[in-house]
Amino acid sequence: MSESFLVHYILNTLPHQYGPFKISYNTHKDKWSINELMTMCVQEERRLMMEQGESAMLATHEKGKSQAKLKGKGKITPQCGIKKDSRCFFCKNKGHMNKECAKFQKWLADKGFAKPKEASWK
């Protein structure tokens, strides 16, 4: 097999995320060797990883249950000790949020901000 055939074959088997990379190859007048292609693929993979960011996958499996019984039960529930307290970020008091805070409303009025209009979705 010729080296140019291998380069084209490798380019054709790359996933769709490498579309701009393939276009870049096709617009260059120089044709790459296998080593150059591998170097460029590594650089492109790094670029794609930086663009995508990091991600994590979570897999859970309960012992003794078949996959049919687990269907629809893969939801992650909050831990029992964690409670969502409604706390105002303006005055730091519990029991209300910013939009209900008298101090926050007064501050908005002093700064000249109008109260936001309620949206009606009738």
What would the pLDDT profile of 100-114 be if each residue is shown by its tens digit? 888 888 888 887 776
How many CB atoms sit inside 10 A of residue 88's CB?
18
Q: Is residue 77 part of a domain?
A: no
Q: Is residue 122 part of a domain?
A: no
pLDDT tens for 85-104 read 677 877 888 888 777 888 88
In percent, the amount of the chain with pLDDT more than 70 equals: 66
Identify the domain containing residue 12 by its residue range: 3-52
Going from the C-alpha of 12 to that of each of 5, 15, 17, 40, 45, the distances in angstroms are 11, 8, 12, 15, 16
Q: Is residue 46 part of a domain?
A: yes
What is the pLDDT, as a whole number, of residue 66? 57
Q: Is residue 94 part of a domain?
A: no
For the four alpha carbons of 66, 67, 71 and 76, in that order, the dihedral sign comes to positive
Residue of higher predicted confidence among 94 and 83 = 94
**Secondary structure (3-state) at 81:** coil
Q: Is residue 104 part of a domain?
A: no
Query: What's the whole-number mean pLDDT along residues 41-47?
Result: 89
Band of pLDDT at residue 49, cut at 50, 70 and 90: confident
Going from the C-alpha of 67 to that of each of 58, 59, 62, the distances in angstroms are 16, 13, 9
Looking at the DSSP bridge assignments, the partners of residue 94 are 87
Number of domains making up the chain: 1
